[in-house]
Structure 1
Amino acid sequence: MTLALAPLSGHAQDLTGTLKKVKDSGAITIGYRDASVPFSYLGADQKPIGYALDICYKIADAVKAELKLDKMEVKLNPVTSATRIPLIANGTIDLECGSTTNNAEREKQVAFTNSHFLTATRFVSKKSANLHTIEDLKGKTVVSTSGTTNIKQINEANTERKLGLTILPAKDHAEAFLMVETGRAAAFVMDDVLLASLVASSKDPGAYEISKEALSKPEPYGIMLRKDDPAFKKVADAATAKLYTSPAGPALYDKWFTQAIPPRGINLNLPMSEEMKKQFANPIASPDPAAY
């Protein structure tokens, strides 16, 4: 009997980090955001839904299969931009599912699985203005939100390309979009996914277009995990790579970014960029924008 049980107990002892924690407790805890549309937010019934949540449930399924568990509870724990990293680090949550940028600074504290979204700085304008490229903005008045990297990027582009822009700072995204809506600015420069959300929520979404040309390299968003936990990261990486490279990956993207989403039925109309197509074909978890 002792010999027969030895391999099994040996395998259990091999488990470390998050996999051991989940095996011992029979539960995995997912951290979610309450208003990061469409990544992680509260639906009509006040339960969390979203693109990143759907990905996290796939990782949870893979963990359950890896540990050969008959049952595994998936707990949900709210996080904010201020609490998400501390709650991963102290073990309160095992996965953080939202719109968290993977960068070199954060990788000193946490790890990330394969990037699930790439944002970039673009501009929104009225379709009637026929502004498609950065050069088309020459001599125009543009707006960006005060204190963001985006306003810094448009100022740099203005100097480098001699665009002759008048650049206005707005106190928040809503004020900046209103300036385009009312004709006080020709374009609003910001992260494309935020622009898409503003357009979708506007009175006339069909009146606006987001530039294909970007002012920045892609910024990767990733699902956050604990640092120095290679066994758990291996499971998460394998689960996300399997999803992204299968037909289910692009279908999941389309569900949240090109179709009507609950609870208000808005459509972000943000088709997959060429960089995102490349990322889904060959998934990576790099914090370096140049890698994408």
Structure 2
Amino acid sequence: MGKKLRRSLLFLLPLLIIFFLSGCSNTQEKNIYQADKKTKTITWGIKSDTRLFGLMNIKTGQSEGFDIDMAKALTKKIYGKNAKVKFVTTTITTKIPLLKNGNIDAVIAAMTITPERKEYVDFSTPYFNAGQSLLVKKGSSITSIKDLNKKNITVLAVKGSTAVANIEKYAPKAKVLEYDDYGQAFTALKSGQGDAMTTDNGILYGIAKENKGYAVVGGTFTNEPYGIAVNKGQKQLLHAINKALAELKEDGTYARLANKWFGDVAGFNLKEAEGQ
């Protein structure tokens, strides 16, 4: 089976499951903005395995990170200071199915805006301008994407992510091993199963921050902006999110939250992340 066909099946299978389990849910017909306005509550799909964006705190049992704080700030901008949030942990393969099936209202989970995903969901304006990069052990001979085309190089990535397709495009000679999540991929890197791990720079900076023997190298070789996803047809909710996001950037809240999570990370550029 070809790589392109495998990627298509990985993306489409969760969506097919929706129709069998939900009987073709009609959540697109429900006005989520108006429903949430009554309860002053937005249910967000988040990550719980991605340092700096959304990571489970084992002491509190709650996820913490930039995405979490942004979701709280956006909710209060939209429905007022007494508004509440609910969080549902998602993965690469479950976030769109959960959104399409009405289990969550919006997704803020380090989710790259892509043409393929736009077929199923609508995205806000970018809230974090990320780009794909490489994580290696310090002292590695790999310093850029070009080095991945050397003989016998193995790159580690997460299944179903845009990172896999990008490596096939920019470093076609590299062998790619895919894992279920970032934790597994990094464990594989530590154990020597690969020469480099690849995904968005923001995620890699989080891993490097907690593991001093590793470094993010080569800058970014793609433009991978993160967007907030809502179900197709939810124009009122999407408009409210875009308006709130613009206000958070204008009043300084965005900068405060970004610096809280990324300010001490070498190479972080606030203006670049914000899209200025």
TM-score of the alignment, normalized to the shorter chain, above 0.5: yes
Q: Normalising to structure 1: TM-score of the pair?
A: 0.66
Cα RMSD after superposing both structures: 3.4
Of residues 229, 249, 255 in structure 1, which corresponds to 2:254? 249
Residue 238 (structure 1) aligned with residue 243 (structure 2): yes
TM-superposed CA distance for 1:235, in Å, is 1.3
Match of 2:51 in 1: 37
Letter in 2 for 1:103: T
User: Aligned in 2, Cα 1:156/1:108: closer, same or farther, shift over 3 Å?
Assistant: closer
Separation (CA, whole Å) in 1 of partners of 2:140 and 2:261: 28
Match of 2:79 in 1: 64
TM-superposed CA distance for 1:176, in Å, is 5.0
Of residues 135, 154, 157 in structure 2, which corresponds to 1:143? 154
Residue 174 (structure 1) aligned with residue 186 (structure 2): yes
Separation (CA, whole Å) in 2 of partners of 1:269 and 1:33: 23
Of residues 33, 36, 53 in structure 1, which corresponds to 2:68? 53
User: Aligned in 2, Cα 1:110/1:47: closer, same or farther, shift over 3 Å?
Assistant: same
| CA contact 2:45–2:104 (8 Å) conserved in 1 | yes
| CA contact 1:144–1:176 (8 Å) conserved in 2 | no
Counting aligned pairs with the same residue, the percent is 21
User: Aligned in 2, Cα 1:193/1:21: closer, same or farther, shift over 3 Å?
Assistant: same
TM-superposed CA distance for 1:190, in Å, is 0.9
Of residues 223, 227, 230 in structure 2, which corresponds to 1:222? 227
User: Aligned in 2, Cα 1:61/1:106: closer, same or farther, shift over 3 Å?
Assistant: same
User: Aligned in 2, Cα 1:133/1:56: closer, same or farther, shift over 3 Å?
Assistant: same
SS in 1 for 2:88: strand
Of residues 204, 215, 226 in structure 2, which corresponds to 1:209? 215
| C-alpha distance after superposition, 1:27-84 (max 9, x if no partner) | 332223332322223222002222111111122112214xxxx854433333333332
SS in 1 for 2:219: coil
Letter in 1 for 2:205: A
Q: Normalising to structure 2: TM-score of the pair?
A: 0.69
Separation (CA, whole Å) in 1 of partners of 2:165 and 2:100: 32
TM-superposed CA distance for 1:134, in Å, is 4.7
What are the within-5 Å matches in structure 2 for residues 1-292 of structure 1? Answer: 17-43=31-57, 44-65=59-80, 71-125=82-136, 127-128=138-139, 132-134=143-145, 142-145=153-156, 150=163, 153-154=166-167, 157=170, 167=174, 169-170=176-177, 172=179, 173-174=185-186, 177-178=189-190, 188-191=196-199, 192-202=201-211, 205=212, 207-215=213-221, 217-259=222-264, 269=266, 271-272=268-269, 275-277=272-274, 279=275, 281=276
SS in 2 for 1:55: helix
TM-superposed CA distance for 1:23, in Å, is 2.8
User: Aligned in 2, Cα 1:142/1:82: closer, same or farther, shift over 3 Å?
Assistant: closer
